[in-house]
Structure 1
Amino acid sequence: MAEHTQLIDAVNIRTAIRSYDSDPIDDDAARQLEMTLDPINLLSGLHIQLVRDRPQVFAEANASGHLKNAANYLAIVGPKDDDEAKERAGFYAERVVLAATLRGLGTLWVAGSWDRAEAARHCHVRRDEELYLGVVIGHPEHHLERLQESYDELVEVQRTHRPTKSYEEFTAGMTDDERAAAPEWFRAGVEAAMKAPSAMNRQPVTFSYDADADTAAAHIDPSAGDEHWALNDLGIAKLHFQIGAGQGQWAWGDGGLFIHR
């Protein structure tokens, strides 16, 4: 893995990790994560925090076997009642997730598999903020053996570890002719978004391409039944699309446009 340092590599190997080794995140690894968090929080207007060694936050999930040895998390904190901030939270927190992936750490987005009130006790939530979601983070189970696996082996694990909607489903508003005419950067973006995590794996985002304007758009699919976390999932999917497409920038919001550079 050491030679693979690009975000697209992280997209291609990231999986949801539910079982962790008991080894703690050491101070050096924590400092590296904080060096990623500081500029992202400044850029995004969020307040994402790394919280270590709080297994009580995951006591029930660890006891039931839903998780194993979960003890550390990213607290995704942002402004109250701010839909755009919730989308930004998905976009920018997933950027931290991908940075952690490149460092050999495992992650898992969580909404219900933790004690939210207990989690809030161990992070800083200002009066005008709320705790949106969390990301479990730590060393994957048998992580030393995992570090010996080749990039291609990890890509195959990612490809087969869960079912995913098809490219056609992710571009449900387009005709076959429109798909065939879309540029390669659009297809690469959609394929990267297909690998993005989402609440309960509902993948509630679709993409479309406007040939006249040479722009892409991202849409929340209401039929996915993910209205509670859809904005967060929209942000995550937009980040993956942007990384896959190469260069470009999104406008925030449902239906926001992507301008390819």
Structure 2
Amino acid sequence: MAEHTQLIDAINIRTSVRAYDKDPIDEDTARQLSMTLDAVNMLGGLNMQLILNQPAVFTAANESGHLTNAANLIAVVGPKDDPEARERAGFYGERAVLTATLRGLGTLWVGGSWDRAEAAKHCRITKSEELYLGIVIGHPEHHLTYTSTSYAELVERQRTHRPTKSYEQFTAGMTDEERTAAPDWFRAGVEAAMKAPSGMNRQPITFTYNTADDTAAAHIDPASDNGVPFNDLGIAKLHFQIGAGAGDWAWGDGGLFLHK
């Protein structure tokens, strides 16, 4: 598993990739990814699986130009009708995304740009489980050029590749005075969460800091019409935790973060 500083680097360069080269994922990289999935599945009580060389899952998206050469995915599988499991899937699925980023691969969380039924044919799904979402994975288009791009250039690409809400919007439940009083680890956590992917890029998660007990909390914006809020909550919590440096989250909307 990647070291903490490597994960911060991954957050700083990760972007959502829609265009891929046709080159297959090599066996060693696939093995490393599968090992990561085995580890996070154990931690999260999930059944995420690496599915390779199945372009039929993305036929419509590839033909429409919404995606290019998409053929591989991480199938995000977990218990049925369990919002907490969906949150854990976001948290641990994004952990796999960051590992893939460090291996020079591109990724994209998908909920609609794929054939879910076709994907399910290639998964191991028990009667008590369901296929939540998919994560497209593969070599980014022109990946040899990508792998020779400097870290600083990749950071700048991440910073400018999409619009993002402001720090103030991500801490909408706080006053300016409360923001000023919050510790550096809180701001670092929020800034890492600002770089997290979310459904339709709606960024429906906000954070607050409580001075009295030195905790942070993550909230789903009740005004958001995002269809996968618990998945986005898990993803944002992971980014926050990595940015903050050390600590643990309680699951759930409003769950607290204890910094260490």
Displacement of 1:124 in angstroms is 0.8
Q: Is the 8 A contact 1:173 1:208 kept in 2?
A: yes
Q: Is the 8 A contact 1:90 1:236 kept in 2?
A: yes
Consecutive unaligned residues of structure 2, counting only runs of 5 or more, are none
Show the counterpart of 1:237: 236
Report the more deviating stretch, 242-251 or 30-39.
30-39
Instruction: Name the aligned partner's letter for residue 219 of structure 2.
Output: H
Report the more deviating stretch, 29-38 or 157-166.
29-38
Superposed CA offset, 1:190-240 (max 9, x none)? 0000000000000000000000110000000021211x2000000000000
Superposed CA offset, 1:95-135 (max 9, x none)? 00000000000000000000000000011111100000000
Q: Give 3-state SS (helix, strand or coil) of 2:219's partner.
A: strand
Q: Trace 1:133-148 onto structure 2 (pairs within 5 A).
A: 133-148=133-148
1:109 partnered with 2:109: yes
Instruction: Name the aligned partner's letter for residue 130 of structure 2.
Output: E
Show the counterpart of 1:154: 154
Change in CA separation of 1:94 and 1:116 when aligned onto 2, cut-off 3 Å: same
Show the counterpart of 1:175: 175
Q: Normalised by the size of structure 2, how large is the TM-score?
A: 0.98
Distance 2:184 2:202 in 1: 25
Q: Give 3-state SS (helix, strand or coil) of 1:224's partner.
A: coil
Q: Normalised by the size of structure 1, how large is the TM-score?
A: 0.97
| Runs of 4+ off more than 3 Å | none
Instruction: Name the aligned partner's letter for residue 136 of structure 1.
Output: V
Q: Trace 1:223-234 onto structure 2 (pairs within 5 A).
A: 223-226=223-226, 228-234=227-233
Distance 1:224 1:192 in 2: 21
Displacement of 1:10 in angstroms is 0.3
Superposed CA offset, 1:116-170 (max 9, x none)? 0000001111110000000000000000111011100000000000000000000
Distance 1:70 1:37 in 2: 20
Consecutive unaligned residues of structure 1, counting only runs of 5 or more, are none
Distance 1:5 1:153 in 2: 18
Q: Give 3-state SS (helix, strand or coil) of 1:108's partner.
A: strand
Show the counterpart of 2:258: 259
Distance 1:5 1:25 in 2: 25
Distance 2:21 2:61 in 1: 15
Q: What count of residue pairs does the alignment treat as equivalent?
A: 257
Instruction: Name the aligned partner's letter for residue 92 of structure 1.
Output: Y
Q: Give 3-state SS (helix, strand or coil) of 2:223's partner.
A: helix
Show the counterpart of 1:82: 82
Q: Is the 8 A contact 1:196 1:236 kept in 2?
A: yes
Let me know the Cα RMSD of the aligned residues: 0.9
Distance 1:136 1:19 in 2: 10
Q: Trace 1:1-261 onto structure 2 (pairs within 5 A).
A: 6-226=6-226, 228-261=227-260
Q: Give 3-state SS (helix, strand or coil) of 2:169's partner.
A: helix
Change in CA separation of 1:187 and 1:5 when aligned onto 2, cut-off 3 Å: closer
Percent of aligned pairs with the same amino acid: 73
Instruction: Name the aligned partner's letter for residue 128 of structure 1.
Output: S
Displacement of 1:41 in angstroms is 0.7
Q: Is the 8 A contact 1:57 1:71 kept in 2?
A: yes
Distance 1:85 1:146 in 2: 34
Distance 1:38 1:110 in 2: 21
Q: Give 3-state SS (helix, strand or coil) of 2:252's partner.
A: coil
Distance 2:56 2:125 in 1: 19
Instruction: Name the aligned partner's letter for residue 39 of structure 1.
Output: A
Q: Give 3-state SS (helix, strand or coil) of 1:125's partner.
A: coil
Distance 1:37 1:75 in 2: 10
